[in-house]
Amino acid sequence: MNSARDDQSVRWAVLLRGAFCLLLAATGALSAADPKGEEFFERRIRPVLVRECYACHSSAAPEVKGGLRVDSRAAIRAGGETGPAVIPGRVNKSLLIDALEHRTLEMPPKKKLPKNIIADFREWIEQGAPDPRDHPPTANKAAEQSWELVLTERRKWWSLQPVARVSPPDVDGNDWSTRPVDRFVLARLRQRHLMPAPDADALTLLRRLSFVLTGLPPTAELVRSFPERFARNAEQALAEVVDGLLESPHFGERMARHWMDVVRYTDTYGYEWDNPAKGSWEYRDYLIRAFNGDVGFDQLIREQIAGDLLPRPRVDRSSGLNESLIGPMFYHMGEHRHGDNIRINGVREEMVDNKIDAFSKAFLSMTIACARCHNHKLDAVSQRDYYAMAGMFMTPRWTARSIEAPGRNRALIDKLKRLRDQIAGQLRKMWKPQGEKFATEIELALVKPSEEADSENPRLALWRKALGDSTGKKAKAADLASDFASATGLDGLKWLVSRLVSAPDDAAAENAWKQASEQWRQAHTQRNRKNRADFKVLADVGRDGWPKNWVIEGDGMRSGRVVDGTPLIALDGKAVVQTLLRRGYHTHSLSPKLPGAVRMPRQQDLPGKYVSLELAGGEWSGSIRMADNAFQTEAVKFFDWQKSRWESFADIAPKNGIQRLSYDLVTSDLNPNFPPRTGVARVGARKLPDKDMGFRKRSWFSVTGVVTHVQPGQPADEMTRFSPLFDGLPPKTARAAFRRIGAWLAMAVDDWAGGRPDGDDVQVLNWLLSHGLLQNVSAEGAALAALVENYRAAERAVPFPRTVNSMDERAVVPVDYPLNIRGSIHDRGPNVPRRFLQVFGSQKADGPRDGAGSGRLELASFLVDPRHALAARVYVNRLWQWVFGRGLVRTSNDFGRLGDRPSHPELLDYLAREFIAEGWSSKRMIRRLVASRTFRQGGRPTEKAMAADPNNRLLHHAATRRLEAEAIRDSLLAVSGRLDRTLFGRSINPHRHAEDSAKRLFSGPVDGNGRRSIYLKVSIMAPSKFLLSFNFPDPKLPTGRRDVTNVPAQALVLLNDPFVVSLADRWAGQLVSEDHSTPEARIEQMFVRALGRSPRKDESGRWVELARGLSDGGTSRLMADRAVWKNVAHTLLNTKEFIHFR
């Protein structure tokens, strides 16, 4: 009975549930067809679901939470683990409303939605929950819908808006300043009922200006003269000092060091081996020249992002350097992994992440790198944005470039060519008569040699040595190649002569000739047939130039194309010619100082599995395999071949997502990874010394042939040089055979003298030269000797190459980067087309034009476009920070939601607009800022101001600032008289207590040779410990604002560091050698030099008392006691005032 009743209950429940479902379906169908209901859903409901819920409750979610999906009608009504989310028409029974109102459930979990939105959902459900979404979107579609709505909100953020056009506010009763900067500042102060602090005194302003603009203390002369000038006319005195400091060469050093923080300047690449960053010091000097020359920052943006692509590069007149090509060294700062994706999966991803992070922080104050694994959690940057930019930065080759401007060496190159031609003309005159005697000389040397003949003609012995063994005796056939099948060079000639000399009669001699001729023909035919079958000539580079999409670099390549027989002039010794060159490219044809590089296309774009080049090279030239721009690879081979040989370069099956594999041939200066880590650079047993940093190398290589092939192997020497020798009937006698050989050798000389040599002639001529059979000593003719000396003098004048790691986009196939799912290198998704951030425009408009190239040039143009001026706003904030110590936006590398908002947004936009109007001039903007009354304020805030604005965000006084690490060190050098004010040059190793030669961590002088701190080498692995003590930034990361700490270690450094102690002693030596009438006068001078002011009377007394307490004699002895004044100087250098300015 109970069982039957239960069955009946179950049947009724099933029927009722079915009826209810049909009713719901009908309601859904009716509501979906309701235009007004659908419009309400699309406008009020769907955007909220997408924006607030899809991340966790849709097909786009990595894991659907609670089993609930809200991305389709069926899914939202079915609900999740807790039941139906929406029941049409029943608001209070719908769990979605419960969750939105944060009753038993809470959704979204972090923050309750506004009441009006919850009211919309209630109304929607009351309408019957009309919902046109028949099917859930795909995961990609759901993610796109979600991101579009998120982006719509995030693009409203203040820093993404175009720079506004604002006017300085009018401030009632303003008798403080009419300057625009001050009007903005005063208006904000008035809003909080505050007033600016009174102006600082003259010497406080002078010290402040000197450190802000040059990073050095003011000179004693200026300290003594400025107060009087300031008292007469403060505005004029300040203007004159500011102009002088802005024109000081040390202004460029100061501003360059600020920017070097932003771009994570390093001289090394860190990780285990800390390899040197090629040309880093050139980039530093480039910045100094740019700031001193007030190059517009818009130009610097273009150069650093796309300087290699500018149609009219900027050339420095004084140095003849292509400044624009140095700019992209910006990309190659910071930490770089060793190896490549062939060996270590993920190297490429780390490399490009470094670039994106540095670019976005430096020029946009955005943290784009946060979107590597997912859409940015707070800012308007999607994961697709990240990988779209990755393609922009990965498309160009990351490699070394020669920064000499075209024509920098042209005069010297033209002179060397002219002298080389003249030397060749003299040699032709000498060699042609010598060649005419070859036949007779060989006959005399080999038929009936005698001591009497040798004494009359010493060349006969040379012939026997050349055609016999090393002692000049006839060569034994058994010691030579038995036939031409294995012969190389002119081995076959020695073998032939040995048979001829050994022949007992003329018939035997004729038979020996026939046998040699037949062996040569067989070998020649066999090798020729194999070459034709297995190898395809890709280019005769000496005749036709390089194949399409092969790129050359450097003056060594541009001037290195020669015809057969071009003489390579010997640069020292008695010889005139080192060798005669074959047709092709020889980077050292004029000077081995001239750099050269050949960059092959991607291996997959070359015909055949292999490409082989006929190469020679030396002095650390070599080849480097580049997989997706990983130039820190150890896949490098160094050349040390004085004779050409074939070298094959194989295509490698792609792995770990590699998109481009290519090979470069490079002299050492154009090798982006030279010197590589210690131990890698070696040829056989020869190893590059650990201390060799790769400077001033006479590196060279030659290319005389290029072929492609499918199977491994190398083209064989077809020995065509013997063809003229064996053409025609064989000679009947040994004597005739010797004359035939002489005539054949003379033919090569005659061809060369007549200006028509070929490669075979060159081989014969070099054989003659190597055996002293052609005159090759400059002393044999006054005219020739003078020409050779002039050539060598001109070659000595050729400067060593100037190269940097930069970018090269010539003939590259653009790269679209794959999106790594959740940032995983093991889960690569589809490629993302190259473009800039979606928030700044449509996806198509912000990519490279016509899909060609990287898009970097378009990116740079966008950043400097005055219509939005975002980069100008970012940079002006940096200038404000460098002048005032803190930016209007304190987080100068992050204008996003995790950063601060500007304290004076209208002022920031006003300055950005003025900056653009004044040609992006850093000097003009800085002059505007330091001329303001805001900058002139004193450092004593009122109690009211500190209570209302304790962090001084409203700029009611000038805060006391500690000097940066470099300024402290430079001040020590300046005050002690040790400062070397020379600009530019290679970086100097900081002083180290222990060296590590394996990592090239060598020690420099204790005082760095007196050079400013900007010239100390910045090693990622071991920066200067002195600078680190005072918050020198981590060179691996872009630094917008340095930390400022006050820790005991800093006092200990100033007290005990040998650098400080030695400078105190040096200063003391100067003091005791100078004529000071009293201890008070000396103390006064020390204060002026160290603190930029004279001591107060009570201060002077205390310091004199200190000096007398350290001395055990009278005033005369005190004034001459160096040890006393060393301690006094050291004490003064340890005062707080010395390392601060007010």
* Secondary structure (DSSP) of 460-495: HHHHHHHHS-TTSSPPPGGGS-SSGGG--TTHHHHH
Nearest to 281 by CA among 804, 692, 693: 804
Please list the residues that pair with 613 across neighbouring strands: 647, 706
Neighbours of 142 (CB within 10 A): 20
CA distances from 892 to 261, 367, 376, 1088, 1117 (A): 12, 11, 19, 35, 55
Are 574 and 710 within one domain?
yes
Nearest to 563 by CA among 690, 420, 735: 420
* 3-state SS assignment for residue 686: strand
pLDDT value, residue 47: 84
- Give the number of C-alpha atoms closer than 13 A to the C-alpha of residue 134, restricted to the C-beta side: 3
Q: What's the CA gap between 212 and 246, in Å, rounded? A: 10
CB of 956 within 8 A of CB of 195? yes
CA distances from 682 to 618, 694, 912 (A): 12, 13, 54
Nearest to 632 by CA among 999, 1101, 274, 197: 274
Residue 13 lies in a domain: no
| Count of domains observed in the chain | 6
Nearest to 915 by CA among 301, 244, 208: 301
Are 376 and 391 within one domain?
yes
Neighbours of 1078 (CB within 10 A): 11
Nearest to 521 by CA among 485, 548, 489: 485
- Say how far residue 567 (Cα) sits from the centre of its chain: 38
Residue type, 179: R
pLDDT value, residue 38: 84
How are beta strands 597-599 and 551-553 bridged, if at all? antiparallel
Are 445 and 339 within one domain?
no
Which helix (H) or strand (E) segment holds residue 1118: the answer is helix 1115-1120
pLDDT value, residue 472: 42
pLDDT value, residue 601: 94
Positive or negative CA dihedral for 11, 16, 20, 25? Answer: positive
Residue 277 lies in a domain: no
CB of 463 within 8 A of CB of 445? yes
Nearest to 883 by CA among 191, 194, 214: 214
Are 605 and 479 within one domain?
no
Which domain range does residue 660 map to?
537-714
Above pLDDT 90, what percent of the chain? 73
Q: What's the CA gap between 89 and 124, in Å, rounded? A: 9
Q: What's the CA gap between 1012 and 990, in Å, rounded? A: 11
Q: What's the CA gap between 389 and 847, in Å, rounded? A: 9
CB of 393 within 8 A of CB of 854? yes
Which helix (H) or strand (E) segment holds residue 364: the answer is none
Neighbours of 1138 (CB within 10 A): 19
Q: Per residue in 478-499, is it b (16+ CB within 10 Å) or e — as a string?
A: eebeebbeebeebebbbbbbbb
Residue 987 lies in a domain: no
Which helix (H) or strand (E) segment holds residue 647: the answer is strand 641-650
Cα-atom radius of gyration of the chain, to the nearest Å?
40
Q: What's the CA gap between 310 and 302, in Å, rounded? A: 8
Residue 1016 lies in a domain: no
* CA triple 782-783-788, angle to 5 deg: 95
The model's pTM? 0.89
Are 825 and 893 within one domain?
no
Residue indicated by tokens 């004490």: 1131
32's CB contacts (< 8 A; 6+ apart) are 38, 73, 130, 131, 132, 134
pLDDT value, residue 310: 97
Residue 275 lies in a domain: no
CB of 1121 within 8 A of CB of 1052? no
Q: In this structure, what are the phi and psi dihedrals at residue 732, rounded to the nearest 5 degrees?
A: -85, -20
Nearest to 122 by CA among 47, 44, 51, 68: 44
Are 660 and 696 within one domain?
yes
Length of the chain: 1142
Q: Which two tokens stand for residue 212?
A: 């802000």
Residue 420 lies in a domain: no
pLDDT value, residue 139: 75
Which class for 984: exposed (0-12), middle (13-18), buried (19 or more C-beta within 10 A)? middle
Above pLDDT 70, what percent of the chain? 94
CB of 957 within 8 A of CB of 223? no
Q: Per residue in 841-859, is it b (16+ CB within 10 Å) or e — as a string?
A: eeeeebbbeeeebbbbbbb
Residue indicated by tokens 């980069």: 871
818's CB contacts (< 8 A; 6+ apart) are 387, 657, 828, 829, 830, 831, 832
pLDDT value, residue 822: 87
Residue 1052 lies in a domain: no
Residue indicated by tokens 């930069």: 806
Q: Which two tokens stand for residue 1066?
A: 């040096």
Please list the residues that pair with 575 across neighbouring strands: 777
Residue type, 603: Q
Q: What's the CA gap between 356 and 364, in Å, rounded? A: 11
Nearest to 1042 by CA among 842, 886, 923, 879: 886
Q: What's the CA gap between 614 and 815, in Å, rounded? A: 31
CA distances from 609 to 7, 423, 535, 548, 711 (A): 77, 44, 11, 18, 7
Are 906 and 858 within one domain?
no
Which class for 356: exposed (0-12), middle (13-18), buried (19 or more C-beta within 10 A)? buried
Are 941 and 1073 within one domain?
no
Are 679 and 547 within one domain?
yes
Which class for 933: exposed (0-12), middle (13-18), buried (19 or more C-beta within 10 A)? middle
Residues with pLDDT less than 70, the chain: 1-34, 469-487, 780, 842-851
pLDDT value, residue 484: 63
Q: What's the CA gap between 783 and 798, in Å, rounded? A: 23
Are 579 and 616 within one domain?
yes
Q: Which two tokens stand for residue 499?
A: 């048979």
CB of 473 within 8 A of CB of 464? yes
Q: Which two tokens stand for residue 382?
A: 């999607």
pLDDT value, residue 145: 76
Nearest to 705 by CA among 697, 716, 690, 696: 716
Which helix (H) or strand (E) segment holds residue 187: the answer is helix 180-191
**CATH code of the domain covering residue 667:** 2.60.120
Which class for 912: exposed (0-12), middle (13-18), buried (19 or more C-beta within 10 A)? buried
Residue 281 lies in a domain: no
Residue type, 95: L
1031's CB contacts (< 8 A; 6+ apart) are 964, 965, 1042, 1043, 1044, 1045
Are 530 and 549 within one domain?
no
Are 543 and 586 within one domain?
yes
- Give the number of C-alpha atoms closer than 13 A to the C-alpha of residue 6, restricted to the C-beta side: 3
